[in-house]
Amino acid sequence: MYLRLKDISIAQPSQTSYGVTDPITPHTCRLSDMTYATPIRVDVEYIQEIRGQNTKMEKKGVVIGIMHVMLRSCCCKLYGKTESQLAKLGECPLDPGGYFIIKGNEKVLLMQHSFRKEGLSLIWTTRGT
């Protein structure tokens, strides 16, 4: 079997309900306890040997995963918007972005470990907390 992934694509975040896909905003995700994320889609081409004969098959738009979208990144609905457009979307124009919305909560990535030039660094954690 030969497998080839082509045309990987990431769209702006959207929500599908009752077969209808609508774009979502970070404000909507905060209010609805949703995650601001987008599917990663890829076209899959594979060649399979069936009864000694090669058969080429292709599936388009296969979802291979979900990517959380950082606010104000190029995949975000807020990217490049003016202050008045941000206000219409329910966002504060002074909010710099750079964080994620997961299950309606704002999450930030923080550096947990800094490297030292000399010496040994040990971090002890307790399991089950």
Q: Which tens digit of pLDDT belongs to each residue from 25-84?
A: 999 999 999 999 999 999 999 888 888 888 888 999 999 999 999 999 999 999 999 999
Whether 77 and 12 have beta carbons less than 8 Å apart is answered as yes
State residue 38's pLDDT score: 94
14-17 and 53-68 as β-strands: parallel, antiparallel, unpaired?
Answer: unpaired
Look up tokens 């750079």; give the residue: 98
Residue 1 confidence (pLDDT) above 60: yes
Q: Locate the DSSP E strands across 1-129.
A: 2-10, 14-17, 20-23, 37-50, 53-68, 100-102, 105-107
State residue 119's pLDDT score: 66
Residue 2: band (very low, low, confident or very high) from pLDDT cuts 50, 70, 90: confident
- pLDDT average, residue stretch 2-22: 88
Give the separation between CA 78 and CA 26, rounded to whole angstroms.
8
Percent of the chain having pLDDT more than 70? 88
Give the separation between CA 36 and CA 67, rounded to whole angstroms.
9
Look up tokens 């979802």; give the residue: 63
Cβ count near 91 (within 10 Å)? 21
Residue 117: band (very low, low, confident or very high) from pLDDT cuts 50, 70, 90: low
Average pLDDT of the chain is 88
Closest CA to 46 of 31, 34, 57: 57
